[in-house]
Structure 1
Amino acid sequence: SAPDSRLYYVVEENDLVKLQGLIDEGRNLDEFYFDDQNISTKSLLHVACEKGRYDCVKLLIDNKASPFVRDKWGQSPLMYSVASRHADVAELLLQKNCDIIDDSDSHGKSALHSAAEIGYVEGIRVLLKYGANVNRQMMCERDLENCIETVHMLIEGGADLNIRDRRCKRTALQNAAIRRNIKVVEMLLEGETSLIFCVVEMLLEGATCGRTALTNMMTEWVKNVQGVPFIPDDVMTIIVMMVQAGVDLNLNICEYCNPMLTAANLKAEPLLRLFQANGADANLTSVMGVSSLLISTSKNDILSLKTLLEWNVHTDIPGLIYKRREDKEYTVDPFELAIMEGHFDIAKILISAGYKKYHKPYLFEQARLPKMLQQNPEMFHWLLSKASCPDTLFNLVIFSCRTLLGRNVKSAVKKLPIPARIRGRIALAELLDINDA
C-alpha cells in the first residue's frame, strides 16, 4: 500500500497534536517515503531527524518507531540528525538506545564519520560522550584536515593516529601532509610523538607502495624543473617539522619509504642536505643494494652527487640496476654505472673524490671495452692514463683523512690545526664547490 502522506506532512509541520492522533489511529510509524527520482528512500523517523523535529522524534521513539531503520544507502536516523547538524536530536536518539552509535551505512561510515566530514564539532562531542568508536578510521578521512577543532577533538577522544583510510591506505598524517596542511600536521605530531615511529610499520600494500607520510608528500609535491629542485615553502615547512619530530630518516623497509632514496629519485638536493644534517645515513641501501649515490649517478644529477660526496658517502657500494630496453639486470657500483651510461663527468668526479676501483680489465685489453667508452676515445685515454699511474702520496693522505673524519667532513675538518689550504683539500672544497670549508 502507498505510504500515509499525512504522517509525513504532520512531521514536516511539527504538529504534535495531529501526529499523536495518527499514532492513536494505529498508523505505521516505520513507513518509507520515496522521492520522484527514487534516489532516496527514508522512513518517517529519518524525516523527523533530518528536519530537526525534536518533539516529533521523541514521540515516534516513545511509540516504538525503530531507531535501527535504514534508508536506501544504509544510513540511520542518527546519521541524518548529525549530517543535518541537529545534535539535540542525536542525543535524544542515543539516550533512548545507545546501541545505534557505531552502526555503519553501506559505505562503512558511521555517524561519527558524518560529523567529522562536515566538521560538526557539537555532533562529535555528543557522539564521543556516548562512546562512539573514534578509531573506525576517523582520522584518515580526506576532508578531516579542513577542521582543526575536529582533529583536536578526535585526538583528545583517543583516536589511533596510525589507522589507514580504506581508499588509499593512508594515515591521517599522510593525508594532512599531502594536503600541505601545516596546522594539522603540527597537531598530529604533537598529539602522539610515537606516531612517527609507528608509521615505520608502513603501508606495504595499496596505493601508497610502502611510502611513509614524509616520502608520500615528497613524491606528490617535490619536483625538479630543468635541473633545478622545486620544493614549495609549505612543503619544506612540513618536511622540517617531521624531521624535528623525529621521523626515522634511515627507515629501510623498502626503497619508497627511505627519505634519502626518495630525495635522490626526485633529484631534490636540498632535501639530501637536510636529511644528512639530521642523521640520515647516505650509505644506506635498499633491499636491492641501491644507494642514493647510485640513483643520483643514474639520473646524471651532479648537484646531488656532490652533496652526497660532501658528506663522505662511500663511492663503491654496488646495487642492482635493471635495464628495461635490454631486459637485463646488472650489479654495478656508481662508477661502473657512470661508465655504462656515458656520464663521464660523474665518473671523473668519483675518481677525484677517492674512488679506487677504476683499474678495470677492459683498460688493458683484458675484457670487452664498454660501448660508451668505444664511442669516446678521449674518456678512454683519460681513464687509461689514471690507471697507469699510481696515485700521489698526498692524495692517499687526503683520502685517509676523509675516512678518519667520518660523515661530516666539512664540519670536522674545521677543527684541525692545519693550514686552510690543506683543510680545503681534505674537504674537496674545489671539487665539490664548497665555499666555507
Structure 2
Amino acid sequence: MSHDCRDQSEVALQLYHAVELDDRGELTQLLTKGADLHYKYFGEKSLLHICCEKDRLECAKLLMDYGANIQAQDEWNMTPLMYCMVRQLNDIAEELLSRDPLAVHSQDRFGKAAIHSAVESGSPELLHLLLVHGVVTDQTDWGGMTALMSVCSRPGISHNVALCEMLLHAGADVNLKDLRSRRTALQYASLNKLPAVVEVLLGAGADPNTFDTASRTPLTNLIYQTFRLQNASRDVDEDLMTVVIMLTQAGANLNMNYRENSNPVCKAAAYRVEALVRFFMDCGADPNTSFPLGVTSLLVAVKAKDAGCVRALLQWNARTDIRGRVYRTAHTQYWVDPMELAVDLGCWDIVLLLYSAGYNISRLPYLHEGVMDSELPESLLGNTEIMSWLLFLASSPRTLFHLTTLFVWRVLDKNFRQKINDLPLPNMIKHFMSPEFVIG
C-alpha cells in the first residue's frame, strides 16, 4: 500500500471515529484540512450513511454543509434517507429532504423506495414527512408492490390502519395489482387476516372480486391461506370470520364459477371447513354452481371425504346427479357423480347421506345380480358386507313418506329448511320432513 493510500485510510478512520463519538469539533477539523468526505466504508457506505445509521444529526448537518452527497448509495443502492426510514430517525430525514427534496424518489437495488421503508417501519410520522415532500404514493418496486400493498402484506406492521388511511387520502390506487402474484392490497390484507385494514380498503372502494394469478379472490385466498396445510385446525377464529363477513357484505361473489379456486363454497368444501360452507349457504350461495369441467362443491366435498360438508350441502338441496371430471390419480381424470366417487373412495357414511338425499342408487351399473368382480370398484372387491348392503338399498323401494319429502324438497328448492317450517303442517310432520331428520 502506497504512503498516500495509507494516509487516506487513516484519515477516513479518523472521520469514522469522529462520527461514532459524535465529536463535531474533530470532524470539523478533519473536513477543514480537506479530508475526503466521499470515502466509502464497508458495504459501500458513505459517511452520511453512517451518520444516519448511528443517529448523528449534527454530524450529518456538518457533512452536508461540506457537500456530502445526499443521494449516495451503498452496495444495495440504499440512500441515507432509506437508512433514516429503517431507523425511524425523523429529524435527520427531515434535514436530508430539506436540502434535497428529490431524494424522496430514490430506490434501492430491488426498486424499493423510501416510502416502502417508511410504511414497513410502521411510522406515520415518516410517511407524513415523505408525503409533504411529494413522494409518489403508488411508486412500485421491481415486483410491482406499492406502499399500500406492503402495509397489507405484512401482518406485524404497527399503525397499519393509520398508514393505509394516509396513503388512500393521498391518492393511492386501492385496486392496483402487483406484477408477480397479481394481487391487490385487499388480497394481501385478507389472506393476512387484518380486519381493520380490510374495512378501510373496502370503504375506499376496493374490489372484493379480483383474481390473482391462481384465480383466487380475496375471499378464497383467505380460505386457502388459513386451511391449506393438511394438519391445520378447521376451527374458524374471530379474525377470519370477521373478514369473511366483511367481504361477503361488500359484494363478494359467492357463486363465482370461473375456476374452482375462485368459488368460496368450493374452497371451503375442499379444505373441509363445514362452518364456512354453512355460512355461505345461509348468505345465498348456490350449492349447484358448476365449473368448466362440471365439478360442483358437492363433488369436491366428497373427494375431500368430509361428511360434514356433504351433509351441509345436501341440506341446501345440492343435486346428487351432476357429473364432473375429477382426478383419479395425479395424471388420470374420469367423469363421475358424487355417489360413484363416494363408492370408489369407500366413504360409506357419505354413500348413506347421498342415498338419504334422494340419489337413485340403482343407477350404478355394478349393483345388479351376476356382475363380475372385474366390473366392481376396488373398494367393493372382497367387501361382501358392503356389497350386500348396497344391493339391498338398490332393490328396496323407498317409503312413500320419504319419496313425498324428497319431492317437497325439490319443489321448495334452496333454503327448504325454513320453507318447511312455514308450511301449514303439524310440527311432528315438519320434523320428519326436515333435512336434519332425513339426512342426519
TM-score, normalised on structure 2? 0.82
Partners of 1:185 and 1:150 lie apart in 2 by 11
Q: Which residue of 1 aligns with 2:125?
A: 122
Moved more, 395-404 or 370-379: 370-379
Alignment RMSD, CA only? 3.4
Residue 297 of structure 2 corresponds to residue 292 of structure 1: yes
Q: Which residue of 1 aligns with 2:147?
A: 138
Partners of 1:225 and 1:203 lie apart in 2 by 23
Q: Which residue of 2 aligns with 1:37?
A: none
Moved more, 262-271 or 383-392: 383-392
Partners of 2:189 and 2:343 lie apart in 1 by 42
AA in 2 matched with 1:400: F
Residue 313 of structure 2 corresponds to residue 305 of structure 1: no
AA in 1 matched with 2:107: S
Moved more, 378-387 or 122-131: 378-387
Q: Which residue of 1 aligns with 2:16?
A: 8
Q: For residues 406-430 of structure 1, what are the alpha-carbon distances to aligned partners after superposition, in whole Å with 9 as ceiling and x for unaligned?
A: 2101111111112223323433331
Moved more, 19-28 or 41-50: 19-28
Q: Which residue of 2 aligns with 1:230?
A: 235
- Report how many residues are paired: 419
Confirm or deny: 8 A CA contact 2:265 2:285 kept in the other structure.
Answer: yes
Confirm or deny: 8 A CA contact 2:181 2:212 kept in the other structure.
Answer: no
Q: Which residue of 2 aligns with 1:354?
A: 358
Change in Cα spacing, 1:226 to 1:94, as seen in structure 2 (3 Å) is closer
Question: Where in structure 2 are the equivalents of 1:213-228 lying within 5 Å?
Answer: 213-222=218-227
Residue 272 of structure 2 corresponds to residue 267 of structure 1: yes
Change in Cα spacing, 1:357 to 1:86, as seen in structure 2 (3 Å) is same
Residue 257 of structure 2 corresponds to residue 252 of structure 1: yes
Confirm or deny: 8 A CA contact 1:173 1:185 kept in the other structure.
Answer: no
Please give the secondary structure, in 1, of the residue aligned with 2:207: helix
Confirm or deny: 8 A CA contact 1:134 1:154 kept in the other structure.
Answer: no
Residue 50 of structure 2 corresponds to residue 28 of structure 1: no
Please give the secondary structure, in 2, of the residue aligned with 1:314: coil
Gap runs ≥5 in structure 1: 35-39
Shift of 1:25: 4.2
Partners of 1:81 and 1:384 lie apart in 2 by 76
Change in Cα spacing, 1:97 to 1:253, as seen in structure 2 (3 Å) is farther
Partners of 2:229 and 2:58 lie apart in 1 by 61
Q: Which residue of 1 aligns with 2:201?
A: 191
Confirm or deny: 8 A CA contact 1:49 1:80 kept in the other structure.
Answer: yes
Q: Which residue of 2 aligns with 1:416?
A: 423
Partners of 1:358 and 1:131 lie apart in 2 by 73
Moved more, 155-164 or 306-315: 155-164
Q: For residues 336-375 of structure 1, what are the alpha-carbon distances to aligned partners after superposition, in whole Å with 9 as ceiling and x for unaligned?
A: 2122223333223222212246434444469764234453
Q: For residues 371-416 of structure 1, what are the alpha-carbon distances to aligned partners after superposition, in whole Å with 9 as ceiling and x for unaligned?
A: 3445344544555455556656544433232122121011111111
User: Identity of aligned pairs, percent?
Assistant: 34
Partners of 1:307 and 1:108 lie apart in 2 by 48
Question: Where in structure 2 are the equivalents of 1:162-201 lying within 5 Å?
Answer: 162-163=175-176, 171-180=184-193, 184-193=194-203, 197-198=207-208, 200-201=209-210
Partners of 1:344 and 1:22 lie apart in 2 by 86
Partners of 2:268 and 2:60 lie apart in 1 by 57
Change in Cα spacing, 1:147 to 1:243, as seen in structure 2 (3 Å) is same
Change in Cα spacing, 1:329 to 1:62, as seen in structure 2 (3 Å) is same
Residue 385 of structure 2 corresponds to residue 370 of structure 1: no
Partners of 2:431 and 2:406 lie apart in 1 by 12
Q: Which residue of 2 aligns with 1:426?
A: 433
Partners of 1:188 and 1:125 lie apart in 2 by 22
Confirm or deny: 8 A CA contact 1:54 1:89 kept in the other structure.
Answer: yes
Change in Cα spacing, 1:53 to 1:428, as seen in structure 2 (3 Å) is closer
Q: For residues 54-78 of structure 1, what are the alpha-carbon distances to aligned partners after superposition, in whole Å with 9 as ceiling and x for unaligned?
A: 4443443344322221012211011
Gap runs ≥5 in structure 2: 141-145
Change in Cα spacing, 1:367 to 1:171, as seen in structure 2 (3 Å) is farther
Partners of 1:385 and 1:194 lie apart in 2 by 60
Change in Cα spacing, 1:354 to 1:129, as seen in structure 2 (3 Å) is same
Residue 340 of structure 2 corresponds to residue 336 of structure 1: yes
Residue of structure 2 aligned with 1:85, choices 68, 83, 88: 88
Shift of 1:33: 2.0
TM-score, normalised on structure 1? 0.82
Change in Cα spacing, 1:14 to 1:284, as seen in structure 2 (3 Å) is same
AA in 1 matched with 2:51: A
Moved more, 45-54 or 255-264: 45-54
Q: Which residue of 1 aligns with 2:212?
A: 203
Change in Cα spacing, 1:226 to 1:120, as seen in structure 2 (3 Å) is closer
Partners of 1:373 and 1:269 lie apart in 2 by 28
Moved more, 145-154 or 63-72: 145-154
Confirm or deny: 8 A CA contact 1:222 1:230 kept in the other structure.
Answer: no
Change in Cα spacing, 1:31 to 1:215, as seen in structure 2 (3 Å) is same
Change in Cα spacing, 1:195 to 1:323, as seen in structure 2 (3 Å) is farther
Partners of 2:23 and 2:273 lie apart in 1 by 67
Change in Cα spacing, 1:248 to 1:193, as seen in structure 2 (3 Å) is farther
